[in-house]
A and B are shown apart, each in its own frame.
Chain A
Amino acid sequence: MQRKFTQTKFFQATIIFSVLCLLFVVSPQWLIHPLRTVVMTVTLPAQKVLSVIAFEFSDTFRFFSSIGELKEENERLEKERLKLLTQNAQCVDIEKENGLLRRELEIAPREKFSLMTASVIGRDPSGTGNRFSIDKGSMHGIEKGMAVIVDAGVLVGKVADVFPASASVILLTNPESVLSGVALDTEAEGIVRGEHGLSILFDMVLQSNALKQGDTIVTSGLGGDTPRGLIIGTLQEIRFSHDRLFQQASLISPVRFDRLRYVFIIKDEYPR
């Protein structure tokens, strides 16, 4: 017996695909967000266990694969240690001087942050994402837009979605991530945004501002979301924008985003 076209698998596939395309366009958050919240909350223990096992495997593998590089790494670290010792001595001197001047000018100490530690429990593999999940959520006081850093005050991203016991973080490489940055040496201001989900771009820098390769870019604090002074990365390749109106440069973060295991969320940016 001849099947009708509406009974064919091709027709079924077309209908399903069309409905999904429609859902993709509409993106009903009133439906997706509760579903996401329930799944993320219910499966949190399993996610924690799986992520810990994965990190342990990863660490063990990295340990064995890095044995051959230990000698070179040791020499490099020794050189870096000597360099840092010198820098540290200079910094101690500057800190004393800074404290003295602050006391004389009656300026309050530099802001310190109230931090919360979180573990990475999941990672989005698709090129469109550049997100990861952490094991702290609204129950722990996490809010959307909070800055996520690693221990040395290096910014890695922002909290994008919050669930009761977990949260989703977008990395600086995500094209949706946009924040204001400033160069430490030249004080050139610009916009820091993700480029193709792979790298970070320091963009919209006025031609009148000077950009220097190797200069460190920190957050400017403009816009209110992210505190001032968090390290974003160092400037690499400087070029003009397509319309040649602005300067732009690629940024290299000192952190490897694919190796993040623990992060800190800045909960409070007021003086403690």
Chain B
Amino acid sequence: MKVFFLRFLFIVTILFFEYSFLDILFPIITVPVLLLSTVVAWTLVAGFPRAIIFLLPLTIIFDCVSLGTISALTLYAVLLSYATGFFSRRLLAERRGLSMAIYAFFSAINVLGFMLFVKIFFQKNDISFFLLSEIATAVFSWQFFLSFFLSFFLFFPAYYSIRMFEEYIKNIVQSEFSRIR
């Protein structure tokens, strides 16, 4: 029960740090940068099958709180988490130095991925057939650059805090298990 509450508290903290702090501090950005970094970081720490258990409540609650329905972030998070797991096992198993910078870059580039995902599948107004020009407009905007750099730099605290949190939870579970024995 303690583990459950700690996990819930951790998820809610991330969620409202995004919703009530980052989104107010940087109103220009249109992407939940911290949550995208968290998806990548949590998948790296715990692997896809385990991470998705915690990422789903995080993204579902965020979508419900902000939009009142399950929406783009939840769907994109599943794809992103699977892709992160897939690439991390096959291409870059290391978790230090330059590899971390590459993961941070991967997390940051997903800002563009999310923007396009929303533009193509979720915008009710007419979808432009000139997708290339849409991409160019999105990439060369001030919003994109700010979101990109924020996502890049937020990846590191997200990764290390999730890793520390997972180790802490593991210790609690082990101590409880040994107490039972």
Residue positions of A touching B, CB distance < 8 A:
9-10, 12-13, 16-17, 20-21, 23-24, 27, 29, 32-33, 35-36, 39-40, 43, 46-47, 50-51, 53-55, 57-58, 120-129, 131, 133, 160-161, 168, 175, 195-197, 258-259
Contact = CB atoms under 8 A, between A and B. Distances in A.
Contacts of A57: 25
A126 B49 contact: no
B20 A51 contact: yes
Given A127-B118, A127-B123, A128-B122, A50 B17 contact: yes
Contacts of A258: 27-28
B71 A175 contact: no
A16 B56 contact: yes
Contacts, number: 143
B78 A13 contact: yes
Contacts of B103: none
B152 interface: no
Contact of A197 (B68, B85, B123): B123
Contact of B71 (A43, A128, A160, A197): A128
A36 B70 CA distance: 11
Given A51-B20, A58-B24, A127-B115, A122 B71 contact: no
Interface stretch (B59-67, B91-99, B159-167): B59-67
B21 A50 contact: yes
A55 B33 CA distance: 19
Contacts of A120: 24
A195 B30 CA distance: 16
B19 A123 contact: yes
Interface string B108-120: 0000000100110
B67 A126 contact: yes
B124 interface: yes
B82 A20 contact: no
A194 B16 CA distance: 27
A24 B12 CA distance: 22
Interface in B15-49: 16-25, 27-33, 48-49
Contact of A43 (B16, B22, B23, B24): B16
